[in-house]
Amino acid sequence: MMPFVGADLSKRLVPDELWELVAPLLPSFAARPQGGGTAPCDERAVFTAVVYVLTSGCAWRHLPPTFGTSPATAHRRFTVWTEAGLWRRLHRAVLDELGARGEVDWTSAIIDATSVRAKRGDR
């Protein structure tokens, strides 16, 4: 359980089942060889804060302090996770889990395609 945010909100944003999929996908952060820096963060707290920003439309700088992480840390981790391909891998993991449960209906799908402007002149 995460004490930094109301239990109801944290469980809605990142239920245990989602966290079980996310946790192994997060890149590990090694200690700096020269020492110093800040203490390690609670990864679930940071992930929950990122999910809050992404789903609420809240600006990073307005992240409520009740999440237990600074807006700068949440944004920095979001950037690192994005560059590491976390969101693509998480999407795949969720689809695999739902597929294993038989909860994905593939009878219809939407494909995103690029549209190209028609050329003027000869047709």
Rounded Cα–Cα distance for residues 26 and 40 (Å): 14
Do 2 and 48 meet the contact criterion of CB atoms below 8 Å apart?
yes
- For residue 120, is pLDDT > 80? no
Interval 41-91: pLDDT, tens? 889 999 999 999 999 999 999 999 989 899 999 999 999 999 999 999 999
Tokens of 24: 């192994």
pTM: 0.75
Interval 79-111: pLDDT, tens? 999 999 999 999 999 999 998 998 888 787 777
Domain extents for the chain? 7-29+39-100
- Annotate 3-45 with DSSP letters as a single string: TTS-HHHHHHHS-HHHHHHHGGGSPP-PPPTT--SPPPP-HHH
